[in-house]
Amino acid sequence: MYSPERERSLMKRSPSAPTKTDPQIPISIQPNIGLDEEIRGTVVDQLNVLLADEVVLNMKTRSIYWQLNGHLSLKFISIFDQQIHQLNCAMDEIAERINILGGVCLFSFEEILNATHFKEKSTIPASISLLTDDHETLIRLLRDDIQAFGGIYDDQGTFLMLISILRVHEKIASVLRSFVEPD
């Protein structure tokens, strides 16, 4: 049985994450895939937080991409094009998984900004160093989630998807790190 108190106690990633379903958006047939409703709801909530994180990282990556100019531009353009494509694919995978689990994806910018771990710092210009830090933060969060999804929730489908997304962020962070000047 669903209760708001139980849902909050299960939420580990973000206290401001959206609720698992929107009563205004009916889902006619709930999946019968071996995960009970409470577990699916918790997984959907955590995937929505991850989706919000991916959307914000995508926008930060695009922001840097849009600011590229000068002699290094050509070198970075193809790298950022590839990273934006990888982030788009990750967002699509996460949204698809949310739907498979019978959930509803975040759909407003307000929900996304309330759910994400990353906050915009308007006084600091976009930089590759900050973007690298954000990817590394997400990598650490994904490692925790991978353990939970594979163990506590016994959701092997989400577990395998998160491993794939983790590897994407590890590669992106590695490439970005190669462009950051040591302190």
In this predicted structure, the answer to whether residue 24 has a pLDDT above a threshold of 80 is no
Task: Give CA–CA dist 43/148, Å, rounded.
Answer: 10
Q: What is the pLDDT of residue 179?
A: 84
Q: Across all residues in the chain, what is the average pLDDT? A: 84
Q: Which amino acid is at 160?
A: L
pLDDT digits (tens, 9 = 90+) for 111-146: 999 999 998 766 455 688 899 999 999 999 999 999
Task: Give CA–CA dist 172/39, Å, rounded.
Answer: 31
Task: Count the Cβ atoms, other than its own, within 10 Å of residue 106.
Answer: 23
CA atoms within 13 A on the CB side of 30: 12
Q: What is the pLDDT of residue 84?
A: 97
Q: What is the pLDDT of residue 97?
A: 97
pLDDT digits (tens, 9 = 90+) for 34-48: 899 999 999 999 999
**DSSP for 41-104, written as a single string:** HHHHHHHHHHHHHHHHHHHHHHHHHHT--STTHHHHHHHHHHHHHHHHHHHHHHHHHHHHTT--
* Residue 129 near residue 121, CB atoms below 8 Å: no
Q: Which residue from 10, 51, 29, 28 is spatially nearest to 148, judged by alpha carbons?
A: 10
Tell me the two tokens of residue 163: 């491993």
Residue 3's φ and ψ, nearest 5 degrees, are: -145, 145
Full set of structural domains in the chain with CATH: 55-183 (1.20.1260.10)
pLDDT class for 18, splitting at 50, 70, 90? very low
20 vs 55, higher pLDDT? 55
pTM: 0.81
